[in-house]
Every structure is written in structure tokens, then in C-alpha cells.
Amino acid sequence: MLKKHLASYNILTKEEIDNFVSIVSYKKLNKGDFFIQEGNTCKEVAFIASGIFRSFYHSSDEKESTYCFLSENSFVTAYSSFISQTKTNENIQALTDVELYSITKEQFLALENSSTNWLRLFKIFAEQEYINLENRVFVLQNESAENRYKKLLETHPNYLKTIPLQYLASYLGITQRHLSRIRKSVFY
């Protein structure tokens, strides 16, 4: 799965992919475990082979706000902390059992220095992260709660089966009660 995902970008050579697969560490996290918690510095990036993560932070009134969900065939890291090696405000928690393949910051830098192909691929990852962030801001600012829910239903229907409603509501920027009303109106 990891090899296939990396090959899909048509940037890395077979040898570069094989080398990457040989250096990653397999990890399994149980539901409820954290990949990273606020106040810590993120020292790894990982490919999600299976499972779902929730990324959240605490607002000034200590309320949890869900920023995003990450699922299989994607990479996970507290991105700004990983890049700057500073403490994060982000929490990334497993909502299901999760299987990962991770590399350390040092391994990441070694890959960057080993080939321009890795630089090209990491640039694509950074661009995708920026686009995801921009889309998230635009949707929250410009779409109604009902449209945000419908979009989530279209793009990630599996989330509605596996993610608790309080996290979905937080992600959509609404209360759980409002989400229940929207769900009723969409399905009836």
C-alpha cells in the first residue's frame, strides 16, 4: 500500500521507494492513543495504512475544536511543529485502531539531501497541505452548516459511520444539536 501510494506520484524511482520502505518503522496505535499532544515537539511523519485520526486543539475557553480528520493513504504529522521543531498546539488522536509507517525528522532530512526527487515530492506534500488548509478556511467562512455537512457526506461518507457526532459537529463548526437537525433535514 505504501509503495503503491508513493509510486502514484510518478516522481520516485523504484530504488528510492524501496529504500524508503526499508527505513520506515511500523507502529500500531490503539483507539484513543495520541500520535502527538499539545506542548510536545513533533519528531516524525507517518503514512496511515489503516484507521482514522482526529486533529484538534483547545480554544481559549478550553473547548476542543476539531481541525481535521486523517485516514488511510494519507500522511500525518503536526506539520508546523515538524518543520520548525517547536512545540505544537495540536493534538492528533486515533479515533480507531491505527496502523502507521513512520520516519523521524532526521530520516526525512536525509531523504531530502539524497535526491531532488524527494525534494519534488515533499514540495507536493507541502502544497497539498496548504491547499487543504485554504479549502478548510474557505468552507468554514463561506458555506452554510448544511452545505458543509453535505460536502462531508459526499467526500467522506465513511466518516459518518465511524466518527462520533460530537467530533463531526466540532469539525463542521456547529453544535451537536444543530448537526442532528441538519442530518434529519438531509435524510428526510
Q: pLDDT digit string (tens) for 92-147?
A: 999 999 999 999 999 999 999 999 999 999 999 999 989 988 988 888 889 999 99
Residues 49, 97: contact at Cβ < 8 Å?
no
**Where residue 98 sits, what CATH number does that domain have?**
2.60.120.10
On whether residue 113 sits in a domain, the answer given is: no
pLDDT, mean of residues 69-90: 94
Query: pLDDT > 90: what percent of the chain?
Result: 75
On whether residue 1 sits in a domain, the answer given is: yes
On whether residue 88 sits in a domain, the answer given is: yes
pLDDT at 187: 64
On whether residue 188 sits in a domain, the answer given is: no
pLDDT at 132: 87
pLDDT at 9: 93
Nearest to 173 by CA among 137, 134, 129, 123: 137
Nearest to 176 by CA among 186, 167, 187, 163: 167
Q: Which DSSP state fits 41?
A: B
Residues 72, 48: contact at Cβ < 8 Å?
yes
On whether residue 123 sits in a domain, the answer given is: no
On whether residue 112 sits in a domain, the answer given is: no
On whether residue 13 sits in a domain, the answer given is: yes
Work out the angle between the directed axes of helices 145-155 and 176-187 (0-180°, nearest 10). 70
pLDDT at 67 over 70: yes
On whether residue 174 sits in a domain, the answer given is: no
Domain total in the chain: 1
Query: Is the pTM here over 0.85, yes or no?
Result: yes
Tell me the pLDDT band of 168, cut-offs 50, 70 and 90.
very high
Show the domain range for 58: 1-104
